[in-house]
Each structure stands twice: as C-alpha cells, then as structure tokens.
Amino acid sequence: MFTNELSLFLIATITSTLAGICAMGGGMILVLVLPFFVPAAAIIPVHGVAQFASNSSRLAFCYQHIHWPFVWQFVLGALIGTSLFSVFLINIASQYLPLFISIYLLLTLWFKPIAKLFGKFESFYLVGAIQAGLGLLVGAPGPITVTLLYKKLVDKEQIIATASLLMGITNLNKVIVYSVIGFQFLDLWQLILASVLGATLGSILGNYLRHKIPNQHYMTLLKFILTSLALYTAISTAIKINL
C-alpha cells in the first residue's frame, strides 16, 4: 500500500546523503526520479519541499560556518530572477517539464560551452537570479552556485553551510511561487512527507560521511548516474507524449 512512499523515502535519503557529502548532485538526481512518483505538474513543487527539508536539516549541522556576505547578494538576485522566469512558468505545458528538465541537465553535463559559461560567473547577484529563476522551470539548475562557492571559499565546511542556505532559499522560493499559482500540496501529502523524512535522514548521514568519501570519486559516479537518468527520463517522456 505504501510502496511508492517507501521507495521515495529511500531515494530522498540517498540523494540528500549525496548532497551532504559534496554540496551538490542530490537535488539533480531527485528531480529526475520524481516523474516516476508524481504527475508532471507536481515534479518541481514536490522537489522544492523535499530539497528545502534536505537543505534545512543539513544546515542545522553547520550553520555557524555560513559566509553571510554572499547570502544578501544571492537573495537580491533571486528576487529578480523569480520575477523574470515566472512569466515563462505560467506559459509552459506541464507534460513537457520532464523532457525539458532532462534535456537541460544533459546539456549542462556534456555541452562544454554551457559548463564554461556557468564556470565564468563571478557575481552572486547573477547566480542568485539564474539559480532561483531556472529552479522554477527545471527544479535543479545544477551546481551553478556551488561552483562559484568553490572558487570564492576554501573551507569545505563553509562551502557546505553557505550552499545549504542558498539552496534552501532557492527551494523555499519554488514552494512559495507554486503555492501562489495554485498548486495543491496537500493532494500529495503522503509522498511529500516521505520525501521530507528521507531528506532529513540523508542530511544526518551526509554529515557523518562528508570527510570519508573523496570528491573525485563522487563526481565521476554522479555524472554517470545523472546521464543515465536524464536519458531514460527524456526517452520515456517523449514516448508518453508521442513526440
């Protein structure tokens, strides 16, 4: 009876653990898995709640390491990005969202000009606008913010803490925007609860494992997982909508 809830709980636990280890990747995996559990229109709002729980619970272990000057710049940029991208959000048919999400992630993983462009960003105002704005359309825009944090900060605890807060702001933003446009979160409360509990447990595990797994091994595995899931999601969605 609760097979879907248990499965999503386990997946949310794993993805949140991965994010806790290296501050990136978990949200991207989760957004590609959610189409198997919820309708297309619910992918991004449910993802927002789950990731907000993941970010918030992870932040509880390291909030004292937040680098605050970057936060205020990010928030201002996020407000501008949300205003601009909301126009696109209300004009996109929800059935195309999984395809849009998977193609976007494949391009960011394998199309070098996009990766190079994101890697050149030096402003948290700009990154906040892109992260929050694109988040409304693709759920997990990729490690744009984390990439910049790795360039600006040295201490891994500071990177993890600041990234957790900035991603938490992004995901709370998704929840607020989708609530305003009428998404009914209570219709999927059981799956949402399962994802929140899994995300919280994953934060605890990620905090424990953070210093035990080398980043280079994690990044190689992450790229393989994301590519496989994105291809499967793109193909299955295209078949479903008869493209």
72: left (phi over 0), alpha (psi -120 to 50) or beta: alpha
Q: Domain-by-domain residue ranges, the chain?
A: 3-240
Contacting residues for 242 by C-beta, under 8 A, at least 6 apart: none
Top pLDDT among 164 and 75 is at: 75
Q: What is the pLDDT of residues 133-191, one digit of tens each?
A: 999 998 888 778 888 998 898 887 898 899 989 999 999 999 999 999 999 999 999 99
pTM equals: 0.89
Distance CA 104, CA 230 (A): 9
Q: What is the pLDDT of residues 81-138, one digit of tens each?
A: 999 998 888 888 888 889 889 998 898 888 888 878 877 888 999 999 999 999 999 8
Mean predicted confidence (pLDDT) in 41-51: 93
Distance CA 227, CA 180 (A): 33
